[in-house]
């Protein structure tokens, strides 16, 4: 976990880490819920290992057993400190979701469970 975000990682939150440790997602809205929750948001703070270079974070999601993407979110590189992208990632239905992340020529994949 420390590789992706180094000293910028929040403490005490559930998180997901891609297998190469190039991106981590810290879940502020745990548990994540399908739809558009009104009592709290599905907030995920993405921390990336490699510089953003002003590039947005492209987040494309699909149910892990689906063939086509169902969700796309683009987050600008306008937050700090460090290489972070705060986001709200809502999905249409519960299940295990695969998210492909890309920024400044880099890629990562993570899986998140939505209730």
CATH number at residue 97: 2.60.40.10
Give residue 52's domain range: 2-114
Length of the chain: 115
Number of domains, the chain = 1
Q: Mean of the pLDDT values across residues 79-108?
A: 96
Segment 59-70, tens digit of pLDDT: 999 998 888 879
pTM, two decimal places: 0.88
The alpha carbon of 98 is separated from its chain's Cα centroid by a whole number of angstroms, namely 10
One-character DSSP codes across 78-114: ---SSSEEEEE---SS-EEEEEEEEETTEEEEEEEEE
Predicted pLDDT of residue 67: 83
Q: Mean of the pLDDT values across residues 48-71?
A: 93
The helix/strand/coil state of 14 is: coil
């Amino acid at each position: 976990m420390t590789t992706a975000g180094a000293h910028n990682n929040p403490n005490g939150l559930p998180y997901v880490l891609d297998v190469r440790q190039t991106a981590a997602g810290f879940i502020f809205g745990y548990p994540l819920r399908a739809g558009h929750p009104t009592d709290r948001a599905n907030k995920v703070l993405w921390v990336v290992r490699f510089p953003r270079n002003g590039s947005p974070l492209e987040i494309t999601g699909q149910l892990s057993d689906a063939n086509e993407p169902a969700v796309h979110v683009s987050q600008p590189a306008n937050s700090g400190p460090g290489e972070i992208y705060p986001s709200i990632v809502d999905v249409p239905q519960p299940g295990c979701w695969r998210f492909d992340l890309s920024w400044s020529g880099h890629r990562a994949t993570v899986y998140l469970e939505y209730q």
